[in-house]
Structure 1
């Protein structure tokens, strides 16, 4: 008798190890995560700049994240050292780590810090794009989009559990500690990639390389489902943001220390982990359309809680509820992004949809800060505008095709009836 085929389990296990390490590295070591409170505090209290300048720093620092589709084309179509994933991860992680070291010696002024942050994020985006493409192709080959998306979000939220207090502490000490810690975190991705990410060596001519790039662009241009999903994500996130403005309210009005702000991140992280665990179970019982409606509605309702953000006690409850609501919405939208990405263009397609989210999220935060600083718009008005805009997108879920959102997680494998290895080989031929 033939031995049982354990390829799906083994594939998911190895993918989970690489994805967990990749998400840890590309989440924690971003300027917007572990370093966000230290940088916000530095810009506000050392450089004495307003909300708009503070939010603008993070918007421009993340410039490469809005150009993520470009990196998707490069990594999908141009192998590095005969590799579409492994080579890019090793080189990107090494250069990102070195960039954080360079941040230690950067003069403490707005322009120099911003310039290094922009360069740093280029290498972070390379790593993130590769991890995203690897996750998508593995999820599609094993019909595990919900589970792998839940793992991704679980790790991100788990990061918040200790990032909050740690970031709050780092904001109270020399910035070199923040840069050094971030450099070590992203460097961990190098040995994990070497040990657990295995690829066949690709040998292609320069003519084939440019042909691959053209194929990727044609594939994406004709992917109507992917564009519909990207449009839904853009509308959900395209609302006046108030993240930076809330940071100033916490310090100026509620007199919170950076440690207290970090503790709020801890609460949100714990609640977010709970939401990720719940989603990992629900995705196998409910179809994605139902999950999208429920999760996006939960995110909208939780957002309205910030209308009552007037004390330390209320802040803990509201940030906890938002940790659940926003995490559920993010999970469902990322699950949609994974399913809607066309096979053979995993890096580019997923990067395109994620870049829509990044641009909207950080751009609207800057926009919201400008509305407060220059036009005197109240925080409450921003909260209402944000919540109403996201609420409008919920009924649009009904317009998404049933082929994408009408099934539960793991159902595709039973329908396809093909072993994972065969699916993977077919995708390789489609790419090259």
Structure 2
């Protein structure tokens, strides 16, 4: 889909369906393996919260260099196409990687090496789909709607995969990862038949010079810099994702199946929120969306202070599903609207790299405070909520024209 005006370009409805299937099936696969892999690391390898957080921070290292994949899929064609063959090959090798991870000996180094290699394919899949999404969003002035769909499919993936992952955590890891592999293999024929590209793309011999120019354009974009700053502040506070897992299992004694059910609850309310955003982004201005989402998310995080019983866990998880979705939707929307044309995958991948790197460091810092320095869980909640509120300081620096626009009525990104 290198040229949105070509004859082979699919209409918006079909492109939306292709992206929905891509985001949906891959995120079901990721939701399925999350709990089983964490329990293997905790119960079989006997890792603490800091060590598990470090495993995932190192294992997803490729997420921190997503812009390199963005440059490749924007500028280096595979078999004459920019997106199609990147997706087909990475989906295949990702599926193979999950099968290998489920079969290797249970030791830290081996599992980390295989997980990191497999996750590199995950990163390429995500980056390539991101490039397709941004091209489609800019062609149809639908950044808000496609961003809502993307996050909605993430939540739908957790909705389907979370409870299944909690159930599969009682069985050998290979069973879980075989299902994750199957979902990736299933996407291959879908991409083959739906994402048609004329095999005319040629190698850009001035790749790095063009990449430098693209990076210069991105750095000079007030929208991109502001979006990156907001993503950093949202994710930068000491996180409590892994400490929460230990708090749930060791302190509250919640079962694997119950944790899977919590994932379902959070995903369901997140999906409802994304659906509402899909409608509201066409009516409310970007400024209204950003301010409301940040305030609601910061206040919602404080409810984790009452995370004391299974009943409270259900209610707070539902609330978090809404507030977390609200926090990230407008920022991703902003990133999609503000990415300069010609740098779709690169610009979007930079936003995601900032999010992924900061989020991993955040969880590792929070886990370190929790494990090594005996920080109380409630302290991490206060730190997280207060840092999230700082995002409001970035909003006045965004271009006023862009902030006043609604989805479907956007300005060209190169206007800023």
User: Structure 2 length normalisation: TM-score?
Assistant: 0.94
State the Cα deviation string for residues 15-35 of structure 1 (Å, max 9, x = none).
2122112212432334xx321
State the Cα deviation string for residues 374-428 of structure 1 (Å, max 9, x = none).
111111111001000001112422321123222001013xx77xxxxxx9xx9xx
2:297 is aligned with 1:309: no
Q: What is the root-mean-square deviation in Å for CA atoms of aligned residues? A: 2.0
Q: Distance in 2 between matches of 1:354 and 1:400?
A: 19
Q: Distance in 1 between matches of 2:359 and 2:206?
A: 37
Q: Distance in 2 between matches of 1:29 and 1:104?
A: 14
- 1:107/1:113 contact within 8 Å kept: yes
| Aligned match for 2:143, one of 145, 152, 160 | 145
Q: Distance in 2 between matches of 1:197 and 1:266?
A: 31
State the Cα deviation string for residues 101-136 of structure 1 (Å, max 9, x = none).
111221111111111010001111111001001101
Answer with 220-229 or 124-133: which moved more.
220-229
| Aligned match for 1:136, one of 109, 122, 134 | 134
Change (3 A) 1:174 1:286: same
Give the corresponding residue for 1:20: 20
Answer with 49-58 or 210-219: which moved more.
210-219
Q: Distance in 2 between matches of 1:286 and 1:49?
A: 46
| Aligned match for 1:233, one of 222, 231, 234 | 231
* Map 1:20-99 → 2, pairs under 5 A: 20-30=20-30, 33-99=31-97
Instruction: Tell me the CA shift for residue 211 of structure 1.
Output: 4.9
Change (3 A) 1:393 1:270: same
State the Cα deviation string for residues 298-331 of structure 1 (Å, max 9, x = none).
1111111100000000000000000001011111
Answer with 19-28 or 181-190: which moved more.
19-28
* Map 1:248-287 → 2, pairs under 5 A: 248-287=246-285
State the Cα deviation string for residues 151-202 of structure 1 (Å, max 9, x = none).
1111111112122210101111110111101101111221111111122323
* Structure 1: runs of 5+ lacking an equivalent: 1-6, 417-422, 427-432
* Map 1:97-136 → 2, pairs under 5 A: 97-136=95-134
Instruction: Specify the SS of the correspondent of 1:207.
Output: coil
Instruction: Tell me the CA shift for residue 285 of structure 1.
Output: 0.9
Give the corresponding residue for 1:350: 348
- 2:339/2:347 contact within 8 Å kept: yes
Size of the aligned set, in residue pairs, is 408
Instruction: Specify the SS of the correspondent of 2:372.
Output: helix
Q: Distance in 2 between matches of 1:165 and 1:396?
A: 37
* Map 1:299-338 → 2, pairs under 5 A: 299-338=297-336
Q: Distance in 2 between matches of 1:247 and 1:357?
A: 21
Instruction: Tell me the CA shift for residue 212 of structure 1.
Output: 4.0
Give the corresponding residue for 2:4: none
Instruction: Tell me the CA shift for residue 208 of structure 1.
Output: 4.6
Give the corresponding residue for 1:158: 156
Give the corresponding residue for 1:4: none
Q: Distance in 2 between matches of 1:396 and 1:374?
A: 33
Give the corresponding residue for 2:291: 293
Give the corresponding residue for 1:430: none
- 2:82/2:201 contact within 8 Å kept: no
State the Cα deviation string for residues 38-82 of structure 1 (Å, max 9, x = none).
111111111111110111111111111111111111111111111
Give the corresponding residue for 1:181: 179
- 1:241/1:364 contact within 8 Å kept: yes
Answer with 314-323 or 55-64: which moved more.
55-64
Q: Distance in 1 between matches of 2:159 and 2:237?
A: 27
Q: Distance in 2 between matches of 1:348 and 1:238?
A: 22
- 1:77/1:210 contact within 8 Å kept: no
Instruction: Tell me the CA shift for residue 207 of structure 1.
Output: 2.7
- 1:241/1:365 contact within 8 Å kept: yes
Q: Distance in 1 between matches of 2:370 and 2:252?
A: 18
* Structure 2: runs of 5+ lacking an equivalent: 1-6
